[in-house]
Amino acid sequence: MRVVMLGAPGSGKGTQAKQLVQTYGVTQLSTGDLLRAAVKAGSPIGQRAKAAMDAGKLVSDDIVLGLIEERLDGPQGLRDFILDGFPRNLAQAQALGALLERIDLPLQAAILIDVSAEELKRRIAGRRTCRDCGAIYNVYTAPSKQDGVCDVCGGETYQRSDDNEATVAQRLATYEAETAPLVDYYRGHGLLHSVPGEQPVGAIFAALRGIADRLG
């Protein structure tokens, strides 16, 4: 299974990707994890990444693609993976496609967890997090029993600064401008599978399993 997960912030794609990993034993490739591992290992590309981060710069696409290639290519490389969080724009998608074709591991599917903008705003703006244990609630869909109090540890629940409505609107606007065009890109390549994301978590995962089983 060689899959890219697509979906806006709050769509639940990260949660679903983790369930696919647990069920099928594939590896979830996160650019953050790849960066940390390469820096820790001190590989040449890890040193380049560390230099960029130490200078307060964004890690360039060629470094991220190099990290992905380092993890996939060669006799000890992965043959099955789920990419979550990359690519984020068309240029990255095109470069990733060229890389995967070159190392003979072409992408099999791009799976979109499709959720409306209004529902995304509700999910993100309604999110509350416990300051002590990190448990997550939602005032609309999964509130704590007592407002402002964590059910697990009794700690205070709060709204993160980046979960307010203004910030959420900006995040969704960025997604629409940069990442949403990937949907058309992968549809044009015959790779897109769209799963409605406004249904129970179990139903979403059942649909994903149907897709994954067909990929083999």
Catalytic residue from among 48, 123, 128, 171: 171
**Residue of 48, 122, 127, 128 marked catalytic:** 127
Q: In residues, how long is the chain?
A: 216
The rounded distance, in Å, linking the Cα atoms of 5 and 27 is: 13
Candidates 36, 131, 160, 214; catalytic one: 160
- Concerning whether 127 is annotated as a catalytic residue, the answer is yes
Is 88 labeled as catalytic in the residue annotation?
Answer: yes
Which entry of 2, 13, 123, 128 is annotated as an active-site residue? 13
- Whether 13 is catalytic: yes
Catalytic: which of 50, 88, 121, 209? 88
Rounded Cα–Cα distance for residues 39 and 45 (Å): 8
SS3 179: helix
Region at 56 (left for phi over 0; alpha for psi -120 to 50; beta for the rest): left
Q: β-pairing, 127-130 with 157-158?
A: antiparallel
Q: Judge contact between 130 and 156, C-beta under 8 A.
A: yes
Q: Is 160 a catalytic residue?
A: yes
Cα–Cα distance measured from residue 139 to residue 81, given in angstroms and rounded to the nearest whole number: 34
CB 49 within 8 A of CB 41: no
Both tokens of residue 174? Answer: 């960025």
Dihedral sign computed on CA atoms, order 56, 134, 21, 176: negative
Give, as one character, the DSSP assignment of residue 57. Answer: P
Catalytic residue check, 171: yes
Catalytic residues: 13, 88, 127, 160, 171
